[in-house]
């Protein structure tokens, strides 16, 4: 069990008070001249120049202090990585929704949805345009079969009003459960099928990835980087008993664009650094996606919902049919999905005539799987329903490197919140929060490296603490963030529940609270969490508490952006040592220390490539294995020097431990946990954790490894393969010797009964693709695993199966996820060429049953079979456990 370090409270004239059991608070009142204190009593005042010890004047990306603490480079957040101002919307060639042929009613008396959507669709058809809503009120409501009122489904469309409090978009439908007023995007990332894996584990933030294969990747491609929640990953966080429901799930992590491809040295350069260690153990996958929707804008209008007239706004009323809470559940003002380089600016909510105090039904702006979206000068206020299940959140980060600035949240459940592994690199800057019922927070799963910069809290605070609500298997909170920074927070008033504390931080690894000011400046980092196994040591760093007025710079985001953009053309795109990617490479990093393997006698060779096309690179190679290499980048009269200092490891690298896991890159294992069906077989893999911190696949070391089963009647091992014979549980033991050290590990595996299948024979499926997925992959529909599935949200999302050869087909069998609780709606299309499709089943509704269901149609020649989902009776999700194609 890993716990926080002991915390020694010094006898400074600080206010020290007790709060919840197991916690202590360190507070300084406004103007308090005494220094703050660190985990072991270290004085953590700012320097005499007002600088943080982690952000000196000569800071560069990758800079670390003597304890290994560092600040990420957050300057990439926002539209086009902050390198370009938001576009000015052209005044000419606007599509006026009140003019012919649209004639939207600006009085609010008649529904204007179809007219405005027609104008949006016209802009899409033109390849982009400004859809203009003159001064007035426009009533919009979801049309039949839609879960949104207005949708912008393509790039370069701007929805523009005449100004806040002049143009009003008004949703007059009281039951908006799971619906949006405005949606930007049309589903998840669309993967192309081109992918590769990480070739070596990556620990420090880097833009340079060593990969197995660069084939099919090109500059400007978009990629999504994902990982699998393996047992080792969960144990590392202490979440093995809290996030077990996520075990085996493929999670999106980073959404990036490629700026460099080196096929010879097998590296890919990303546009933004990674934010978290990526270990081979967790099956890191880099998948190419189709270009996302870009250059979409919402600007210059007000937006609101009619309030729900029913009673029932309690915490769990979202479950109670007929209540206001049920009908307002997950209603969103603006939902942005899988969109990049777009913006929302100069928008506020308003109280429609007839509403009591409310502006919205539930949620404000959701940035879901987005990349580089800017929200600027936006005010979201007064949601009606602030119950459980994610209601009453006014701004939610679920994507990468988004920027919310100069914005306000008033009267929320949570004003601003971060959720899921994909919420990383986001910046909240120069914004304001007033009187939410709960704190601005990091809400569930491990969001990574986010910055809250100059947030003013008035009856609010920032919470980044491990949370346990008592469920051992389905808890979705747990360890909520790591390496996040809270910079120069102003406390006009703390949340009523927090007695002067405006930041509480208990992050995995390191977290940073730097600078507070105002009436309330208290910070609580001395937290012993409620989950004993959670690894949140050491205590987070608190520096400059009560000293925010003299913190330099006042804004970390603005200063980092200024530094990077000024020197952008002096950076490197690639830096290699002996043909391998150097660890922790960032474009403008100027100092590296590279450790060569023990016993190295050959002088290393540096190679480098400039970031800018017309920049020049000059390399001075090191003199010997303990020398220093120098790279000079020149661009239009300016130069930048980069140093690489080499040293040789003092001792051979030794193994600390070994882990064993199913190799799910090869078919055979069930998707969830260490499980396999009787009669099947699966490959085993093991990873060594070395004493230099690296995790390596033992298969790459050419080291003999032995696997043994505790019960050969249930399953036996043969080399690296496990053969499952009958249902039961076994222990598999792995053992190896590396550099003279023997390591061994034992892991429990389960053999399960195979799933019940319809009678065959079945056609052979050679390829399965889909229009989208949420990490539950299309290949899972043919793996004969009842624990896996394909899922995609949205009507029209499809699953496509390609057969080995063209045959006559007259029936398919489908097992639906949660099929016993809801009917699923779909069409079925058949093709011989993958281009021209014929619909053989239309508007089909499945029966409510847990087992598979068979659907017959007139026999037809088929090479491709496409299932087109239309959602289910509860929502718009399409989820299939297994799909069989019968031979006719």
Q: Confirm if 173 and 144 have CB atoms less than 8 A apart.
A: no
- pLDDT of res. 247: 78
Does domain 191-291 bear CATH number 1.20.120?
Answer: no
Q: Which CATH superfamily is domain 79-184+294-538 in?
A: Single-stranded right-handed beta-helix, Pectin lyase-like (2.160.20.10)
Element (H, E) at 267: strand 267-270
Mean pLDDT, the chain, integer: 91
Strands (E), 680-797: 681-690, 695-697, 705-709, 715-718, 721-724, 728-738, 741-752, 765-770, 790-793
Q: What is the pLDDT of residues 655-664, one digit of tens each?
A: 999 999 898 8
Q: What is the pLDDT of residues 620-630, one digit of tens each?
A: 999 999 999 99
The Cα–Cα gap between 558 and 74 comes to: 9
Q: Which residues contact 876 (CB under 8 A, 6 or more apart)?
A: 147, 178, 793, 794, 795
The Cα–Cα gap between 319 and 325 comes to: 8
SS3 sequence of 13-74: CCEEEECCCCEEEEECCCCCCCCCECCCCCECCCCCCCCCCCCCCCCCCCCCCCCCCCCCCC
Q: Confirm if 585 and 572 have CB atoms less than 8 A apart.
A: yes
Q: What is the pLDDT of residues 691-723, one digit of tens each?
A: 887 888 888 888 889 999 999 999 999 999 999
DSSP-assigned letter for residue 88: P
Reference 270, options 449, 425, 435; nearest CA is 425
pTM of the model: 0.85
Which residue bears the tokens 């619909």? 839
- The torsion angles phi and psi of 570, rounded to 5 degrees, stand at -105, 15
Overall CATH class of domain 765-885: mainly beta
Q: What is the pLDDT of residues 134-167, one digit of tens each?
A: 999 999 999 998 999 999 999 999 999 999 999 9
Q: Confirm if 196 and 209 have CB atoms less than 8 A apart.
A: no
The CATH number of 655-752, from 3.40.50.920, 2.60.40.1080, 3.40.50.261, 3.40.50.720, is 2.60.40.1080
Q: What is the pLDDT of residues 553-562, one digit of tens each?
A: 999 999 999 9
The Cα–Cα gap between 624 and 518 comes to: 55
Percent of the chain at pLDDT above 70? 94
Which of 24-28, 275-279, 734-738 has the lowest average pLDDT?
A: 24-28
Query: Dihedral through CA 119, CA 122, CA 128, CA 133, nearest 10?
Result: -10
**Position 194 pLDDT exceeds 80:** yes
Which residue bears the tokens 């910046």? 427
C-alpha dihedral sign at 593, 594, 598, 599: negative
DSSP-assigned letter for residue 81: G
- pLDDT of res. 43: 56
Q: For the chain, which residues make up each domain, given as ranges?
A: 79-184+294-538, 191-291, 561-648, 655-752, 765-885
Question: 91-120 burial, b for 16+ CB within 10 Å, e for fewer?
Answer: eeebbebbeeebebbbebeebbbebbbbbb
Q: What is the pLDDT of residues 477-533, one digit of tens each?
A: 889 999 999 999 999 999 999 999 999 999 999 999 999 999 999 999 988 777 877
Where helices occur in 79-112 by DSSP H, the ranges are none
């Amino acid at each position: 069990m890993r716990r926080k370090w002991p915390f020694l409270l010094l006898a400074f004239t600080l206010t020290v008070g007790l709060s919840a059991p197991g916690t202590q608070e360190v507070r300084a009142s406004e103007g308090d001249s005494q220094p703050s204190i660190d985990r072991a009593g270290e004085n953590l005042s700012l320097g005499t120049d007002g600088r943080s010890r982690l952000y000196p004047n000569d800071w560069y990306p990758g800079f670390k202090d003597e304890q290994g603490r560092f600040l990420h480079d957050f300057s990439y957040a926002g539209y086009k990585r902050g390198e370009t101002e938001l576009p000015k919307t052209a005044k000419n060639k606007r599509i006026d929704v009140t003019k012919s042929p649209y004639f939207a009613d600006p009085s609010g008396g008649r529904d204007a949805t179809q007219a405005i959507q027609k104008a949006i669709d016209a802009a899409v058809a033109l390849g982009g345009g400004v859809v203009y809503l003159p001064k007035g009120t426009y009533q919009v409501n979801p049309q039949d079969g839609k879960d949104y009122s207005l949708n912008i489904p393509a790039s370069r469309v701007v929805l523009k009003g005449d100004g806040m409090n002049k143009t009003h978009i008004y949703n007059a439908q009281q039951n908006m459960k799971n619906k949006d007023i405005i949606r930007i995007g049309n589903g998840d990332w669309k993967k192309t099928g081109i992918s590769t894996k990480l070739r070596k584990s990556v620990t420090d933030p880097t833009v340079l990835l060593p990969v197995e294969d660069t084939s099919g990747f090109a500059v400007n491609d978009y990629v999504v980087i994902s990982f699998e929640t393996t047992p080792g990953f969960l144990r590392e966080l202490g979440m093995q008993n809290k996030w077990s429901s996520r075990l085996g799930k493929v999670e999106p992590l980073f959404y990036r664009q490629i700026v460099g491809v080196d096929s010879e040295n097998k590296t890919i350069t990303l546009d933004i650094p990674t934010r978290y260690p990526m270990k081979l153990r967790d099956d890191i996958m880099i998948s190419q996606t189709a270009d996302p929707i870009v250059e979409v804008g919402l600007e210059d209008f007000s937006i609101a919902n009619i309030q729900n007239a029913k009673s029932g706004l309690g915490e769990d009323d979202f479950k109670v049919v007929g209540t206001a809470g049920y009908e307002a559940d997950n209603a969103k003002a603006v939902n942005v999905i899988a969109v990049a380089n777009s913006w929302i600016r100069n928008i506020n909510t308003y109280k429609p005539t007839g509403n009591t105090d409310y502006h919205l039904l539930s949620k404000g702006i959701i940035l879901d799987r987005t990349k580089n979206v800017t929200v600027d000068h936006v005010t979201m206020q007064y949601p009606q329903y602030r119950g459980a299940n994610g209601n009453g959140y006014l701004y939610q980060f679920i994507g990468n490197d988004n920027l919310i600035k100069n914005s306000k949240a008033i009267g929320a459940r949570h004003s601003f919140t971060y959720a899921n592994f994909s919420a990383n690199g986001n910046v909240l800057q120069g914004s304001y929060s007033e009187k939410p019922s709960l704190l601005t927070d990091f809400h569930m799963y491990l969001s990574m490296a986010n910055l809250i910069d100059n947030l003013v809290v008035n009856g609010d605070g920032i919470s980044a603490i491990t949370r346990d609500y008592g469920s051992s298997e389905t808890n979705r909170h747990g360890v909520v963030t790591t390496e996040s920074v809270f910079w120069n927070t102003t406390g006009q008033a703390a949340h009523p529940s927090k007695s002067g504390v405006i930041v509480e931080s208990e992050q995995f690894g390191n977290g940073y609270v730097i600078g507070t000011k105002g009436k309330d400046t208290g910070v609580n980092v001395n937290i012993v969490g409620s989950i004993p196994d959670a690894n949140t040591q050491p205590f987070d760093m608190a520096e400059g508490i009560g000293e925010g007025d003299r913190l330099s710079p006042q804004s970390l985001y603005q200063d980092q952006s200024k530094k990077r953009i000024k020197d952008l053309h002096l950076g490197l795109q690639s830096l290699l040592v002996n043909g391998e990617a150097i660890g922790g490479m960032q474009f403008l990093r100027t100092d590296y220390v590279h450790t060569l393997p023990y016993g190295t006698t050959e002088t290393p060779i540096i190679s480098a490539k400039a970031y800018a096309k017309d920049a020049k690179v000059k390399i001075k190679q090191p003199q010997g294995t303990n020398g220093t290499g120098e790279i000079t980048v020149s661009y239009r009269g300016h130069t930048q020097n980069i140093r690489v200092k080499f040293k040789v490891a003092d001792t051979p690298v030794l193994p600390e431990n070994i882990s064993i896991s199913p190799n799910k890159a090869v078919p055979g294992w069930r998707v969830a946990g260490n499980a396999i069906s009787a009669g099947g077989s699966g490959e085993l893999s093991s990873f060594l954790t070395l004493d230099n911190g690296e995790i390596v696949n033992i298969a790459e070391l050419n080291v003999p490894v032995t696997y043994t089963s505790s019960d050969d009647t249930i399953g036996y091992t043969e080399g690296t393969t496990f053969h499952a014979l009958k249902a039961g549980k076994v222990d598999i033991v792995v053992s190896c010797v590396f550099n003279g050290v023997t390591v061994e590990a034992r892991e429990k595996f389960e053999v399960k009964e195979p799933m019940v299948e319809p009678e065959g024979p079945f056609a052979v499926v050679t390829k399965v693709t889909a229009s989208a997925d949420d990490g539950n992959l299309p290949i899972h529909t043919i793996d004969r695993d009842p624990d896996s599935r394909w899922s995609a949200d949205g009507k029209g999302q499809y699953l496509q199966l390609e057969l080995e050869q063209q045959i006559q087909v007259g029936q398919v069998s489908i097992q639906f996820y949660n099929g016993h609780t809801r009917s699923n709606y779909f069409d079925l299309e058949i093709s011989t060429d993958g281009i021209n499709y014929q619909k053989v089943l239309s508007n089909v509704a499945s029966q409510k049953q847990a087992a598979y269901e068979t659907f017959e149609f007139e026999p037809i020649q088929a090479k491709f079979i496409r299932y087109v989902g239309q959602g289910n009776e509860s929502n718009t999700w399409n989820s299939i456990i297994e799909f069989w194609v019968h031979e006719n």
